[in-house]
Amino acid sequence: MVQARKELRSANLLPVGRIAYANEDGFLPWIGYPDAIAPWAEPLRAVCEATRDVLPEKIEAILLRGSIPRSTASAGASDLITVHAGEIGAEERARPSECGQAIAADFPDVTEVELLTIPETEFWSERRWEWLRFILSHQGLTLHGIDLIARLPPPRLDRRAVVHDRPGARWMSKWEGHWRDARTEAERRSVCSWLMILRFPVRDGRDG
């Protein structure tokens, strides 16, 4: 039987990021936290197994991005986002994504499971994935296979420092409900911190 999802309240609302300071040359540190995946081991294992089942011998790497590797994930409030790279044909790209809804239904602590499948040659060569390469080099983790993250250039605040914030508008629209739900000063500060990181996800402190 599928369990009911946890209610999202300001008490379990966390900032969607952490402040990371670039050095004088504009390079950011890697902020992936390998220990952060432990509470999410079961849904992550389900993702890896499902992917290997639908694309046997096709997937060379499964990478993790988002709030889980940043260690800011919150049960009932966070999604699970993975990137699958390998020798994948056009007709095969949708197969892992089709598993996401079923996996999310089995694990109520996860709000959504997003499985992005990309041919490895496309991952490295196409400009449209610059934002993804930047995010992974800054905060990604390797779950399975080849450690593609180790091959990425260090994250730097330049034109490639793009934040992919597709759900941002949806999250922003919920702030008033979180604020009304806040019962303590600490919870109200959590809402403010969450909003600030949504509004200003990447900033170069050198420009004031």
33 and 122 part of one domain: yes
Q: In what order do the strands lie in the sheet with 110-119?
A: 110-119, 78-86, 59-65, 141-145
- 190 and 126, same structural domain? no
Strand 110-119 to 141-145 pairing: unpaired
Give me the residue label for tokens 């809402």.
191
User: In terms of domains, do 171 and 105 share one?
Assistant: no
Provide the domain limits for residue 194: 165-202
Q: Are 193 and 137 contained in the same domain?
A: no
Q: How many domains does the chain have?
A: 2
Helices (H), the chain: 41-54, 67-70, 94-106, 120-125, 130-139, 168-172, 175-181, 185-199
Same domain, 158 and 170: no
Q: What is the CATH number of the domain that holds 50?
A: 3.30.460.10
Do residues 48 and 86 both lie within one domain? yes
List, for the chain, all residue ranges whose pLDDT scores fall below the cut of 70.
1-19, 159-175, 190, 193-208
* Residues 132, 185 within the same domain: no
11 assigned to some structural domain: no
- What is the Cα–Cα distance from 41 to 31, expressed in whole angstroms? 19
pLDDT tens string 74-122: 777 778 889 999 888 877 887 777 788 888 888 888 888 888 899 999 9
Q: Are residues 137 and 175 in the same domain?
A: no
Whether residue 150 is found in the same domain as residue 188: no
CA distances in angstroms from 26 to 59, 131, 159, listed in the order given: 33, 16, 12
Categorise residue 71: left if φ over 0, alpha if ψ from -120 to 50, beta otherwise. Answer: left
Residue 39 in any domain: the answer is: yes
pLDDT value at residue 190: 67
Half-sphere exposure of 51 (CA within 13 A, CB side): 30
The reply to whether 129 falls in a domain is: yes
33 lies in the same domain as 108: yes
Q: What is the pLDDT of residue 101?
A: 81
The whole-angstrom separation of Cα 76 and Cα 127 is 34
The structure tokens listed for 90 are 């056009």
- What is the pTM (predicted TM-score) of this model? 0.71
Return the exposure string of 176-191: e unless at least 16 CB atoms fall within 10 Å of the residue's CB, then b: eebeebbeeeebeebb
Beta pairing, strands 110-119 & 78-86: parallel
Same-domain pairing of 137 and 87: yes
